[in-house]
Amino acid sequence: MTGPFLSLAQIHNRLVLTARQVLRQHQPGPDRRCPSCRTTGCPIADAARDVLHAARELQLWRTAPDSDDPPQPL
């Protein structure tokens, strides 16, 4: 359920959870084919990986850096 009153952190977390769920559903089987799409190199799994990569780069939870240290990964 997505409500209109979610914080940025909640939206971020839901995006990450959804992307991880999609990756599980489109994880290649022993024949290296996606069980949902039946293709090798599933474009949906690629998109989910892109979402996770973008979510890590944004780091919305870190609003005020306290030092010059580089941001920490999730």
Site residues (vs Zn ion, CB under 5 A): 26, 34, 36-37, 42, 44
Amino acid at 54: A
Q: How far is the CB of 44 from Zn ion (least distance, A)?
A: 4
Given the complex with Zn ion, which of 38 and 62 has the nearer CB atom? Answer: 38
Q: How far is the CB of 52 from Zn ion (least distance, A)?
A: 15
- CA-CA distances (angstroms) from residue 5 to 2, 16, 19, 58, 62? 9, 18, 21, 21, 20
Read off the DSSP letter of residue 72. P
* Count of CA atoms in the C-beta half-sphere (13 A) of 44: 18
Given the complex with Zn ion, which of 11 and 46 has the nearer CB atom? Answer: 46
Q: How far is the CB of 6 from Zn ion (least distance, A)?
A: 28
Given the complex with Zn ion, which of 7 and 36 has the nearer CB atom? Answer: 36
